[in-house]
């Protein structure tokens, strides 16, 4: 029995299957974890999602693209030209897909490996425990009728910093932005969203460069431009840009091995 963690799939179903063959995935023995952005930008979103829903032994944290899909699928947001998940929206199983996604987490802590899974990151002003606690606040909302209001209020870059006095949708937006969109920030936790690339905005650092008390591992996706390099031994970046023509990567906890397949269209 092995446990694998996958970086962003983004609808790259063929590469996912190729990587599963490479690791000789055994459905009844192996546990698969996904770091979010399961869909969007790639071309086989419905196949990807249906496959995941058919796997019994799977753990998923949601990414910004997954939440964006939910906002569109529930009618609170309009689809944009860049979005490629029309196949899911047209599916007769759309309601099941929405229901399945609303059940997933924003953060998962795996005790047996002392590892935390999150799509984007954990800001330096939060402990792992705090991150889990605040993630629950959004997870509960995803499961309630207020998820529609949440999707209406989810978008935006402000407020850019957490304080525990934040209320209402501002609070939920900061929690969501930290966990699903964070790249650069300050030690205070102030976020910066203009830079997608490796060019570092002045006064900001990648969130994982700040020293953290806990010894555990953090695994995240979201940031393909890092090409899997964080410079920190216990912080693993697993989005290696498959949808951008690079490769799809997963990591096996038991022996700390990485596995990759090249993108089909590279």
Partner 1 sequence: MDIYLVGGAVRDKLLNLPVRERDWVVVGSSEDALLKQGYVRVGKDFPVFLHPHTKEEYALARTERKTAAGYKGFECDTSSEVTLEQDLARRDLTMNAIAEDQNGNLIDPFGGAKDIKKGIFKHVSKAFEEDPLRILRVARFSARFPQFVLDPDTFDLMHLMVNRGDLAELAAERIYVEIDKTLKSETPAKFFRVLDDLSAGSRLWPELTEDAFTLFEQVAFLSDGREERIAALFWYLDKTRLKKISARLKLPKQLIDLALLRKHFETWMQSDKLDASEIVSWLYGIDAFRRTDRFKKINHFFDLISKITSKGVYGNCSDNWLSYYELATSISAKSLIPKYQGKELGQALRQAQIEKISRARN
CB of 71 to partner 1, least distance (A): 16
Nearer to partner 1, 58 or 262 (CB): 58
CB of 74 to partner 1, least distance (A): 15
Cβ burial 17-36 (10 Å sphere, 16+ → b, else e): bebbeebebeeeebbbbbbb
Nearer to partner 1, 135 or 226 (CB): 135
Spatial separation of the C-alpha atoms in residues 208 and 40, rounded to whole Å: 25
According to CB under 8 A, which one of 15, 139, 192, 239 is a site residue for partner 1?
139
Spatial separation of the C-alpha atoms in residues 127 and 191, rounded to whole Å: 17
Tokens of 15: 């590469």
The dihedral sign for the CA sequence 157, 144, 5, 55: negative
According to CB under 8 A, which one of 56, 82, 199, 202 is a site residue for partner 1?
56
Nearer to partner 1, 33 or 238 (CB): 33
Nearer to partner 1, 171 or 222 (CB): 171
Interface residues for partner 1 in 89-108 (CB under 8 A)?
Answer: 102-103
Nearer to partner 1, 137 or 254 (CB): 137
As a whole number of Å, the end-to-end CA separation of the chain is 32
Going edge to edge, which strands form the sheet with 205-206? Answer: 191-192, 184-185, 205-206
Spatial separation of the C-alpha atoms in residues 235 and 67, rounded to whole Å: 24
Stretch that binds partner 1, among 12-20, 133-141, 209-217, 248-256 (CB under 8 A): 133-141
Closest CA to 237 of 217, 249, 221: 221
Spatial separation of the C-alpha atoms in residues 34 and 26, rounded to whole Å: 16
Interface residues for partner 1 in 140-179 (CB under 8 A)?
Answer: 140-141, 143-146, 149-150, 164-165, 167-169, 171-172
Interface residues for partner 1 in 202-241 (CB under 8 A)?
Answer: none
Q: Which residues of the chain form contacts with partner 1 (CB under 8 A)?
A: 27-28, 31, 56-58, 102-103, 133, 136-137, 139-141, 143-146, 149-150, 164-165, 167-169, 171-172
């Amino acid at each position: 029995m092995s446990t694998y963690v996958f970086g962003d799939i983004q609808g790259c179903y063929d590469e996912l299957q190729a990587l599963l063959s490479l690791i000789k995935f055994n459905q009844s023995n192996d546990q698969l974890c996904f770091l979010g952005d399961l869909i969007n930008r790639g071309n086989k979103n419905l196949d990807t999602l249906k496959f995941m829903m058919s796997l019994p032994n799977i753990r998923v944290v949601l990414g910004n693209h997954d939440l964006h899909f939910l906002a569109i699928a529930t009618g609170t947001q309009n689809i944009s030209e860049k979005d490629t998940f029309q196949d899911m929206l047209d599916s007769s199983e759309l309601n099941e897909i929405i229901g399945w996604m609303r059940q997933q987490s924003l953060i998962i802590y795996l005790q047996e490996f002392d590892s935390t899974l999150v799509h984007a990151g954990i800001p330096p002003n939060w402990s792992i425990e705090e991150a889990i606690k605040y993630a629950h606040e959004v997870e509960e909302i995803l499961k309630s009728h207020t998820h529609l209001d949440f999707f209406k209020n989810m978008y935006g870059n402000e407020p850019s910093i957490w304080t525990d006095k934040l209320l209402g949708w501002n609070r939920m937006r900061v929690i969501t932005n930290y966990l699903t969109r964070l790249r650069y920030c300050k030690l205070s936790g102030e976020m910066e969203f203009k830079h997608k690339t490796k060019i570092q905005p002045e006064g900001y650092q990648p969130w994982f460069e700040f020293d953290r008390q806990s010894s555990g591992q953090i695994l995240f996706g979201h940031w393909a431009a890092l090409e899997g390099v964080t410079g920190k031994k216990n912080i693993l970046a697993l989005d290696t840009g498959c949808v951008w023509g690079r490769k799809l990567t997963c990591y096996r906890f038991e022996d700390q091995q990485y596995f990759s397949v090249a993108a089909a269209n590279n």
